[in-house]
Every structure is written in structure tokens, then in C-alpha cells.
Structure 1
Amino acid sequence: MVVTTDSVPGETTGGSYFVLLRGAGGVPPYSWSLADGSLPPGLSLLPSGLVRGLPTNAGTFDFTVGVEDRAGVYATESFQMVLVDPLVIDTAFLPVGTVGYSFTTALAASGGTGPYSWSVTDGSLPLGLVLDSTGALTGVPGGTGEVQFTVGVEDAAGRAVERSFTSETINPLVILTPSLPTGTTGSGYSFTMGGSGGRAPHVWSVSSGALPSGLALSPDGVISGTPTVVTQAQVTIRLTDADGRVAAFPYVLTTLIGQVRQTVGARGGTVVVDIVGDSVNLISVVAADGFSAYTIAAGPAKVQVHFIGASGQTPSWVLCEGSPDVSCQFD
């Protein structure tokens, strides 16, 4: 009496398993039983010699079976069963590619018996990309849009599975605004930044430096407000897309003093002026000796008006922007 089955096949967990053990010699019928060790969880051995069930655990299992004929003659045989998890492609999505920028991602699989071999089984990869046998998808995308294709993976035992993917390629995220227009103190300022590429929505922000006092940048990319100081502000503006891509560009935003209205002080009194942004010149006009210039600093200031001249001459104090020969007109 002998067991003629010399090995049992390995299978994948979760699938139906049926193997009939065979013997020879002796006096049939035979009765089979487990003599030593344990069958994999989910499997059982029937007296007919049928091993069946739904194996649940992957691994290597050693066990011994015995067979007895009608005359009581007994024989045993030891087996090793290797069970693996089903072969599956774990990668569910591909990262978005950017035209002109290097793209690298590794497709992943599990289960089955390694090593794996990858290939494209249907459709075509995006322009500029290649898939090697290890599952590495690499290259430099050459065009925008969505491309659908199917890849397959085969394990060392010949098991194979496939999965379809949609690959998306977009234009690079860029800031289109080359420079910022000059602002004027005391006057409303509004300018919309320009950008393109990436994936909407886009969000604008200041990444370093600061805008001139009185101005702010909205998430929509609008710089607005009323400048309150004369300056050349150095600021870096950042554009972020929905996937976290970032583009940044440094700017210098210049604000100049606004037009200062000419103010003539009354004789013997006080004139209050509010100078926004910069120092200006205060000019004393006297018929006999021309004018004398004085500088007052930016901010609220009081200008005292009084009599200087002689021989009945009446001088006047005039608030001007810049030097008198450019900005001041006198009667």
C-alpha cells in the first residue's frame, strides 16, 4: 500500500481549492486522514482523500497524511503546501504630469510569487513616457490632456492581472505678470496678477517681503488699497494651485507721492496741511527778494503765515510739490 501523490499544488488564498490524493496497492477502498501537522486554515481532508475548502492564510504549511486500506494496511506521505495571496495591482491612480518636467512613478503589485513583470497590454502611454518591466513609469511628458491605457503584471508562477489607468498631463504653473505698476500715495490702487497652468483653483499670497502700507493681496490675485507711504517695496508673490504646486516671482512695487495741491496761507494766520508720502517744500514769495525755500516733513503739519516784507509788500506762503521753478506758479 503506497501513496502515489508526491506533491500538492500551491494556490492563492480566497479561492476554491480541490485536490484528490491518490494511493495504490492494498485492498480498496481507502480511508484517508491527517497523520501529523495541520492543513492550512480553511482546508479539510475527507476520508475519500479529497482536500478541499477556501484557504484563508498565505504561507508555507507542512503536514503528513495517512491512508488505510480495507485490510488495515497503512501508509503515510508528507507534503508541503505553499499558499499565496491573490496577485493584485495596488496602484490606483497616477500622479499628474507636467509638460516639460521629469515624471517618475513606480507601479506597485502584491500577492502572487515574485518577481513581477510589467507591460502595457492595451492603449498607449502618454507622449514621452515609457514603462519598464519593473513597473517604473518615467519620462518627460510632451503634451497636455488625458490618456487612457491598460497595464498588466505577471508573477513568477504565470499568474497575471490587469488594470486600466487615466494619465493626466497639464501645463506648468507660471506667473505671467512681469512687473507691478507704480502706485501713488493717497490714490486708489488696483491690479490683478496673471498666472496660468497647474490645476484650478489658484491661490495668491505674499511669500516674503511686504507690500507698501495700505495695499493688500487677495487670494484671487488682486492687489488693491490706497498707498500711504512713498517706498520701493520688495515683495515675492506666490501662486499655489489645487495640487500644491508653487510658482513665485520677486517684484519691486514703487509708490510715489501724490499731487500736492498748492495751498496759499492767509496773512497773519495758520494753514493746516496733511502731506501724504514725502517731504515737500514751503516757499516764501517776496516781491523784493524772490523766494526762500523751507522743507516740512511728511504727515500733518501746520504752516504759520506771517508778514516778512517791508514797504507795504505782502508775502505769501505757498505749499508746493518739489522745487518752486517746477511745481509752483505765482502771480
Structure 2
Amino acid sequence: MYIENNIISGCIDGVYVDEHTGGTVYIQKNIISGNTGAGIELGPNADGSRVEVKWNNIIDNGYGIDHEGSNEVEASLNFWGNPHGPSHDGINYGDTVDGSIDFQPWLVAESAGEEITRELDIAAPMLGDGYVGLEYLAELPMQPNVGSILEWSLYSGSLPDGVEILSGITLYGTPTAAGSFSFALEASNGTQAVYRNFSLNVATEYTGSGPAVVTRSPVPYETGVAVDAPIVIVFKEPVQLSDNYQGYINITNPEDYYEIVYKVARVQTTVINNDTLVIDPTYNLRPATTYEVAISAGIVTDSEGNSFAGSWRFTTGDQVIPLAITTAELPPAAEGQAYSAQLAAAGGVGSYTWSLVDGSLPDGLSLSSSGQISGTPLSAGNWGFTVQVADQSGATATRQLSIIVSPAPDTTPPTVVEKAPGNGATGVPVNVAITVEFDELVQAGENLNGVTVAPPGGTPIA
């Protein structure tokens, strides 16, 4: 028997079923509203296993379904006048269901009569223990068996103080009190919804093995994060980079899995402790982009070798820091000597590409695309030029710079041009002044005592 495509309103009981025989009663695609008793009343002799209620709008009745008979009634995929489903067992939302009734999943908005056949079904994950004063992070299932990504919300009960649902995806926070907490969470894909029961134990003392997190920044699923913000994790105990650390931690854009940034992570040691890990991206991140930070097992450990591993996402804000060249001047160079200087920039998006756009570098020097000026200058002088930096978005910035190249040091000894008296001269007056003229300016050296006047083979007289 089919009871379908009706508007049933203004009755005591909209639909009454009792002592039926001969097959299943299908109550579907109806608008059942405004009935003072029950929208659907199943009498004491009704067999719930032979009643199916689907795709109805059951709204503003005394009861949605009142089942006084035996066996469970299949009553999924109905709208109960509230996106959180019907009222039951002391939980107050839409029309009330009473008796053995399976109403999950329900529709979150009024049914248009579409025969939805794939029902949302998702298992509740087991939640790990939390600890007072330490960060709690538990990812909830995101991809259901049907439909779009799930969004989770609190259905009934209370979360531990300090813990909340972030972005409909993650349980996150810092528990402030110990205890055992029971609650139900609702998962919706925008069309259907279900609830699942959870329990979470919060202990006073940490009993885990790996380094426990006290705080992290940005927090999971935080939005509006500055593109130049460092990523910081504070642990409960001192941590260190393991011996097999490869020099980078992934910061990726999970939408296209394109690796944007690699950067050496460092443990920030203060005068108090060394429990803080700072990840500072080499380049600014892209604005309005979601990133995932992934720290693999074995990178960060405590003194006993216990490892921390984890990943989380955040989204940068719309603000772009203007691209600018921060190198104000370059060190001087010397003719014939190796030279190296690195240009620096700030702001913009992603990595930088450098080029020379005006003037010229000293002969023998070149500029790489990474901003390194290197080579060996071939001639002295003051060389002016303009460099340009471009970021991954195509933005550019320029700056005029110069390099002064000093002459190569003179390593050739002075040459005598003229001397008086000359070599082999005779009849020289005894009071004559002895002079030596060189081809360049000279000065007294450190060993001035090495200049002597003496007869050949005789004793110096000056």
C-alpha cells in the first residue's frame, strides 16, 4: 500500500496504521502538517517492520510519529521541521518521534519529493584522551559515503571546557578540567544529516610518550593568517631536531598539492627553555590560500627520542605585503679579487627572480636569477646599475645600486731613475748629500736601518 503525494493537515492523526496485513505500507512524498495528534500514528497492533516512511515533510504536528506497536520503523530521509531532525529522548528540535523509530539520516531542508536512495552513513571515530592544559586536536571524518564534504556541529551534551569544533572539521582547544565527557555530534553534507555519540576522557597528568603540544600558531583552520607569519609550536618539554632531519618541513597548498615552500625549521632556544619550534617560510605565502603544515615522524623528538608528528591547515588573508628590495648598499670590491654579495627583498608572493635592467656591473661580475652577484672584477671604478626583482605573481620592484672597485694593490718594487753621486764617481766631496730618485713615490719602510754608507768591505760610516 502506498500513501503518497498528499497534503494531510488539520486532523487529529494525519495517518493511522494498525493491524495491517498483506505487505508493507509506504508513506512517502507527503506534506503532513498541522495535525493535533500525530502526523503518523502507528497503533498497538502495528508491525513497524512493515511500515516505511520516507521523503515526507512532517511539520508542526502534536507528534511527528507515535509508534505504539512492535518492531522498528524505517523513517529516514524525512524533514521534521528543523534542520537538526526530530525531537526525541529529551532532545528538542523538530516534530517528536516516540517509540522504536530509525529516523537517521534526516533531511536538513524541506523535501521536494525527490527519491533519494543513497543514505548518508558514517562511523564515529574513537577519540583519544585529552589532558588539562595541553592542546587537544582530533580530526573528524570529512568525506562521507555520499555527497559533499561533511560539516560537524554539537548535537547534544557539552564539550569539555576549552574545546570547540573548528570549521566544522576538527575538535580543538585546551581542556581546563579533568573528567569524562559524553556528547553527540551532528554531521551534515548539506542535504542529509546524522548524529553520532562520542566520549572524551580528560586526564590531569600527561601519560603519552611523544612531545605534547601546549599551543601552536596559526591554530588549525585559522583564517586571515598574515602571509609572512611564522609557524610556532610550543611543547610541554624541550625538543630537538633528530639526527636524520633533512633540513625542511613541508608547507604545501593541499588544493593542488604543489609544494610552495621548503624551509629549515629551527628550535628556538631561550634563556628559559628550548621547548619552542619555529618554522619561518623562506618566502611569503600566497594570499587567500589554504596551506597544510606537515611534520613527519622522526623530525622533532624529545631527549629520549620520542617523536612528534602531525599536520594541520590554515588559510592566509587577502593582504599582500608590497614587494620591495631591501638591499640598500653593496660592499666594495677590489680589482682582481673574488667578490660575492647576495641581494635581498621582502614582501610579494612566493620566490623571487632577479635581473639587471639598467647600467652595468663591473667587468668580471654577473648577477644570477637568485640575486647573487659574484665573480672577479677586472678593472677599478665606480659602477652604477639598476636591479629588478619579480615575484611569482608577476609583481616587480627596482632599486639603483653601485659597487666601488678599488685598484689592485701594487706589488712591483720601486725602480731607481737617478742617483747622485753616480756609481763609480770619484773626487766626491766629503760632505756631499747622497740622493736617489725613484720612478714613483716612496716612503720609509719598517727596516730603515738597513740603509748604510760604507767603503767596499769596510765599516759603515752612516
TM superposition score normalised by structure 2: 0.26
Greater Rg over alpha carbons, structure: 1
